[in-house]
Each structure stands twice: as structure tokens, then as C-alpha cells.
Amino acid sequence: MLAKRIQPMIFHARRLYVELMFQVMGRALQAVSEVDSEVKEEAQVLPEGFLFEMMVMPNGPSMIVEHTGLGRFRYHGDNAPRPVDLSIQFKHIAHAFLVLSFQEKTSVAFANDRMLVDGDVSYAVRMTRVLNRLESFILPKLVAERAVKEYPQNLHLPEKLVSAARIYLKVATNFVETVRP
Amino acid sequence: MTNKYYEFFCPVKVIAGKAALEHMPYELAGLAAKRPMIITDKGVRAAGLLEPVIAACEESGLEIVTIYDDVPPDSSTSVVRDIAGVYRSEKCDSIIAIGGGSAIDTGKAVNILVSEGGDDIAKYSGAGILKHPLKPFFVVPTTAGTGSEVTAVAVITDEAKGVKLPFTSSFLLPNAAVIDPRMTLTLPPHITAATAMDALTHATEAFTCMAKNPLSDAYATAAVKKVSQSLLAVMDNPKDTDGRLELAQASTMAGIAFSNSMVGLVHSLGHATGAVCHLPHGLCMSLYLPYVLEFNLESIREPLGELLLYLEGPEVYATTPASRRAEASISAIRKLRDQLYKRCQLPRTLKETGKVEESQLDHIAEVALDDGSIMFNPREVSLEDARAVLRRAWS
Ligand SMILES: [Fe+2]
């Protein structure tokens, strides 16, 4: 582990950031699925009890949400109650960091072979659209435009939820700025 | 610094041109293959396309051990299991797939079973399941369009469950793709046209979609140029061997391009239309290509404009103002479709096919939104967007 001895802070900070952003996303997914009709509509097609995971290969941070029916998601932290149905896997924590720090759009990361899909591709397509919508919710418009292919015209979400999610985001960003070498 | 990153991989040996088939015995011997099995379909056999392959092998003392010629247009798990059984009982040691997309995909799937063992091909479905190289595998395409001879994917229908199983692994790639103009010489006009439009779509989408990269770009532009220069000549003179070879090479090059940079909305809509209305894939590509390019226009203006050079040649390119080139590329493709309609009635709209009801459009749109290739389309596509493109392609 030569690299770890040279740049311990960067590695540690990056990993913490990815872990924190997974938590932000998991909670936000659950929140958004309770209020946003478009996310609900996309999610409704998923089977009840469908487990979706995003993780970093080989055994890095992960986020698991379950479709509990009627388009609702429940966040499970990084513990899957049973084998997941669909997994989106980043090949390296550096690639997860690029996406979760909004330097690379999710769709671009797919195009750039940064991540793999394990499971039904049609569900992966659906979850990517959900994630795009989520990103446009929790990010300020300027950042969101960079993170998703197209910024949606019809974002109507209770201000409370938006600000709550943005607080998470702020915590995460401040965090990464503080520890960034 | 740019965030640009890409991967490019194509380890397939391309054996192309005059008397290419006669190179197969040497190439097979180089892989220690002595007992090849041919996998093909009835159409290929009826067209007399097996004879030159068999003659080329036998003249070099290489015996074709067995021939399975009953691959259906939509290959299934039971067909794959049956063929694997024949392969084993005849003690074959290599596979030669001869045909279009279905025969080639079947060959890939059979190769998984006979290399990995077992009877249940579904077990190997998905990405990255295979961890070892498979048996020697050669592909001889008889249509110039799918590019399956250079793709790492196979799709096989599981009839019992009624689903299509995808298989993805670089080990599915054949050891060699044999491109011999004799194999496409007898292709009927409407299939020549539709499959060439599939190749043109592969190249165009590879060049304009999200995973485009410099290596794929080079293959894509060369493929566009070959199709534009040779397709109508071959339509007018089907026995034009040079033109046939150009189209066959274009198809392989477009295949190399799109298997490394993926395709977009034309294919999402095409796959959906194939599933809902059972229209041939190449025809769907021809139907949707200009309408999807119009939908994507503002996201792909630059690369699409560049394609004009390869679609229309340097003179038209030079005399078209840079700001009008993208539109001119779309017009060039429309013009090509009109010419094909004139020569073989290749439909230009869904209505012209006579096989699609207007009431099916919504269903096609819904299915298209679940297709994997929509992920790589340069513009985000909503259900309403997909419907709008379909309405434009209707008539
Ligand atoms: Fe295609």
C-alpha cells in the first residue's frame, strides 16, 4: 500500500466524501419519491421489494434503496437485507468521486466506462433517469446543469425538502473543502 | 483538463477481400482447430453460400464435421442447447457461424455452452460472467449491416420465460471475421438496402452519441463514406463485387465503431418497434435515422456537420456554410432514403410500412424508454419526446 503512505489525507477524505454523498442521495431518494410524481411514475414500474445498489468496486462504500411499492423508495444505508436486484458499480473510488462531486454527469460516466451495470439494463436506464431528476432537485440550478443531461422545466418540490437536501449537500461540500489537501 | 476518457477494444482478426474464404483453413489450423462445425440458417444454405466455404476448407484437407442449418430468425435457448448437443456428440473443436445477426449470435451462445459446459445458457446471461477464452470461433457474415462479427454481445430469446437474454463479454468476439464479397453478392435488393442503412446508422450514432471517441470516429467516418459511395451503385448493379466488398467492410467498420462507442435513440426506437411490430431491424433504422437526428440536432450540430464530408464528398462540404452542414447531412440521408424507395420501395415512414398502426406509437415509445441504448443518446429523452419523434416518423 505504497500510495496510502504518500497521500493518506486525500484518500481518506475522498472515501469519506463518497460515503457521505451516498447517504445524502439515499435519504434524498426516499424523500423525493414521497413527493415527486415523475420519480414515482418512473419507480412504479419496478417490482415491489426491488433492491437498487450503487457501490464502489471492489468492496467500497455503497448505498441501497428498496422500492417498497407505489413508486416509493426506502433507504437502507449500506446494508442490503437480501441480494440486490440491480447494482451500479463504479470501477474505482476516484470515478465515484468524479460523479458524486458533480464533475462528471452520471450519463457521461456510463459512456466513459466508469461504471458497470449488474442486472436488468432497462431498470438501470430507469434508475439513471431517477438519479438525474434527483440531482436536479438537490443541486443549485447552475451545478445541476453540469450534472444532468438536461435540466428539467417542471421542478415543483416543497421548498422545505429542497432546502433540507441542500443542507446535506452543503455539509458535504464544506466537509470536502475543509479536508481537501 | 478535460474529463474525456474512453476505452477501445477490437481483437478480431479481419480477413477481407478476394478469396478470403480460402484463408480459413490456414487460420483455423493456426488455432489448432481440426473439427469445425458450421452454424447457419436455411436461407444461407438455399442461396448456395455454404458451397464455397466447404470447398475452400476441403481443398485444404480440412473436413467440416457437421452443419447445423436450422437457426431461426430469432434464436432461442433451446436451439442453442440443441446445437451444443450436436457439437459435443460430433466431437467438434471449433465453430464457424455463417449468416446474419441471428446465426452469429447463436454461434456466440453455442460457444459459451461448449466451452464452459452445461445445458443452461441462461446461467451465463449478463455482463462479465465469462472469465476464460472460448473455443476457436470464426464468423462469415452474409449480410452487410449488423456488424455482429465484431461485437461482444449476443441476444438469445428464452421462450419459456418470454424474455430476451443478453450476453456481454469480450470472449464472445470471434477470432476472425471473414469478409468475402461472394457471400453478399446474392443479397436481395431490399435486404441490401435495409442492412446498409443499419450500418450507416451504427456509424452515424457512434459518431454523434455520448461515448464517441477518436478511434471509433475514424472507423465511423470511413464507414459512412463507403456506404454513401457504394450503396446506390450496388442497388443498380447487384453483381458489383467491388461495391459489395465496400458495403461489407463498411458494415464491419461501423460495427467496430459502435461496439466501442454505443448507439442512441435510433436504436432504442428500432428495438422497440422490432419488439412491438416485428419490423426488420435495418428497416427501422432507415425509418428513424433522420427524425432522431433532427431531434438531437442542437446537441450534435458539430459532429453531424462534419459527417457531411463523408456523406456528400469534399465539394458539397466545402460549398456548404459551416452553420448549415448539420442540416445538409440530414438532407443527404433523406435523399439516400428517397433513392432507396425508388429502387426497392424501402419505406421511409411508419405508415409506408403498412405494418404499424398509429395506435401502437404510444406503446413503442414506452418500450423505447426502457432500452439500454437510450442512455447514450446525446439528448435526454422523455416519454413525450419519444412520442413526438414517432409522430414525425409516422407519415
Ligand atoms: Fe443496428
pLDDT tens per residue, range B226-282: 999 999 999 999 999 999 999 999 999 999 999 999 999 999 999 999 999 999 999
Mean pLDDT (chain B, rounded): 96
Quote the CA–CA distance of B174 and B40 in Å, as a whole number. Answer: 15
Whole-angstrom Cα distance, residue B34 to residue B28? 7
3-class DSSP assignment, residue A96: helix
pTM of this structure: 0.91
B210–A128 CB contact, under 8 Å: no
Statement: residue B161 has pLDDT above 60: yes
Q: Is the pLDDT of residue B1 over 60?
A: no
Q: At what angle do helices B361-368 and B265-277 cross, to 10 degrees?
A: 130
Residue B362 has which C-alpha cell? 404510444
User: Could you report the per-residue pLDDT of B38-93, keeping only the tens digit for each?
Assistant: 999 999 999 999 999 999 999 999 999 999 999 999 899 999 999 999 999 999 99
Residue B272's alpha-carbon distances to B154, B167, B208, B268, in angstroms, are 17, 19, 21, 6
User: Are B376 and A110 a contacting pair, CB within 8 Å?
Assistant: yes
State the Cα–Cα distance between residues B162 and B323, nearest whole angstrom. 48
Q: What is the pLDDT along chain A (181 residues), one digit of tens a residue?
A: 566 566 667 778 888 889 988 988 888 888 888 888 889 999 999 999 999 999 999 999 999 999 999 999 999 999 899 999 999 999 999 999 888 887 788 888 888 889 988 888 889 999 998 988 887 777 666 566 666 666 666 555 555 556 656 656 665 555 555 544 4
Distance CA A43, CA A69 (A): 8
Q: Which of B139, B142, B376, B196 is nearest to A108 (CA)?
A: B376
Ranking A51-65, A105-119, B186-200, B325-339 by mean pLDDT, the lowest is A105-119
* Orientation of helix A93-100 relative to helix A8-35, angle to 10°: 50
CB B262 within 8 A of CB B208: no
Cell of A108: 457521461
The stretch B342-354 carries a mean pLDDT of 97
CA distances from B63 to A130, B33, B58, B68, B367 (A): 56, 11, 6, 15, 46
Write the DSSP symbol of residue B152: S
B126 touches chain A (CB under 8 A): yes
CB contact under 8 A, A121 and B166: yes
Q: Does B19 touch chain A (CB under 8 A)?
A: no
Residue A56 CA to residue A95 CA, distance in Å, equals 9
Number of H helices, E strands in chain B: 15, 9
Rounded Cα–Cα distance for residues B257 and B254 (Å): 5
For B:216-255, CB contacts with A below 8 A are: none
Q: Is B103 exposed, middle or buried (0-12, 13-18, 19+ CB in 10 A)?
A: buried
Residues B196 and B198: their CA atoms lie apart, in Å, by 5
Q: What is the pLDDT of residues B50-61, one digit of tens each?
A: 999 999 999 999
CA of B337 to the centre of ligand 1 (A): 17
Cβ atoms of residues B110 and B83 within 8 Å:
yes
Confidence of residue B301 (pLDDT cuts 50, 70, 90): very high
Domains and CATH numbers, chain B: 13-182 (3.40.50.1970), 187-394 (1.20.1090.10)
Amino acid A181: pLDDT? 41
B214 in contact with A, Cβ within 8 Å = no
Chain A residues with beta carbon closer than 8 angstroms to that of B379: 149-150
Residue B345: pLDDT over 60: yes
| Dist. CA B141–CA B183, nearest whole Å | 7
Ligand 1 centroid to residue A99 C-alpha, Å: 30
Which neighbouring-strand residues pair with A63?
A54
| Domain ranges within chain A, ordered by starting residue | 2-173
Using the mean position of ligand 1's atoms as its centre, give its distance from the Cα of residue B152 in Å. 14
Is the ipTM, as predicted for this complex, more than 0.95?
no
Question: Cα–Cα distance between B185 and B234 in angstroms, integer?
Answer: 9
* Residue A106: per-residue pLDDT: 83
Does domain A2-173 fall into CATH 1.10.101.10?
Answer: no
Beta-strand relationship, A86-90 and A115-118: antiparallel
Based on C-alpha coordinates, what's the Rg of chain B? 20
